[in-house]
Amino acid sequence: MYIAIAGNIGSGKTTLTETLAKRCNAKIYPEDIDNPYLNDFYQDMARWAFNLQVYFLGSRIRQAADILKCGEDLIQDRTVYEDAYIFADNLHEMGLMSSRDFASYMGIFNLAAHLIPQPDLLIYLKASVPTLVSQIQKRGRAYEMSIQEEYLARLNTKYEHWINQIYTGPLVTLDIDKEDFILNPSVIDNLVARIEEIRTTKNGK
């Protein structure tokens, strides 16, 4: 079974991925935070936007090749769809990625999207900007300290559009402002129950 966790920067994707993986005995496909362009990107977005996004896209395609041959349950931290519909699209809209670079990027994405299976379940972590800022500050990654609230707000708008207008697969939305899965274990229990429900349906039992 293929589960994917989606959400803005600081929404808690990695923590939820690790928590669910333990409960479901699933393999983790983490986001590649060792992207060599990250530090440069947050210092000069316009210069490094295309490089950053192409690296992330390549990382996601490599994961997809593994997902296709993986015979066990897996949970992926962030999807290839977010790379395109949220981050690259936002950078283009902000004028930080040229139309020529964006067209080239989307050409590669559209080829890859046909090779990547859709998740059996997408879990979207929805969070307000104050919550995102608080969690970003708590984890203390140096390259994230310069992220502006306006940037996070734009990403939130993109996420809402993608979830409500574009994405068509099985979906669970978790409002992190109201459902703290760390402080409230029942939130995880409910997610595990939903996963088991989908697993049973998929296996035809």
The yes-or-no verdict on residue 205 having pLDDT over 60 is: no
Greatest pairwise CA separation for the chain in angstroms = 53
Going from the N-terminus, what domains does the chain have, and what CATH number goes with each? 2-202 (3.40.50.300)
pLDDT band for position 113 (cuts 50, 70, 90): confident
Q: What is the pLDDT of residues 126-135, one digit of tens each?
A: 999 999 999 9
The yes-or-no verdict on residue 191 having pLDDT over 60 is: yes
| Rounded Cα distance, 195 and 2, in Å | 10
In degrees, rounded to 5, the angle at the alpha carbon of residue 170 between the alpha carbons of residues 165 and 171 is 65
State whether residue 180 is helix, strand or coil: coil
Q: What is the pLDDT of residues 67-106, one digit of tens each?
A: 777 778 899 999 999 999 999 999 999 999 999 999 999 9
Instruction: Provide the pLDDT for residue 146.
Output: 81
Active site residues: 77
pLDDT band for position 9 (cuts 50, 70, 90): very high
Instruction: Provide the pLDDT for residue 143.
Output: 79
> What average pLDDT does the chain have?
91
Instruction: Provide the pLDDT for residue 33.
Output: 79
Is residue 88 a contact partner of residue 54, using CB atoms and an 8 Å limit? no
**CB environment 181-200: b (16+ within 10 A), e (fewer):** beeeeebbeebeeebeeebe
**Verdict on whether the full-model pTM lies above 0.85:** yes
Say which residue, 33 or 79, is predicted with more confidence.
79
| Rounded Cα distance, 186 and 180, in Å | 10
Mean pLDDT in residue range 138-158? 90
**Taking each helix axis from N to C terminus, what angle separates 99-113 and 45-69, rounded to the nearest 10 degrees?**
10
Mean pLDDT in residue range 3-11? 95
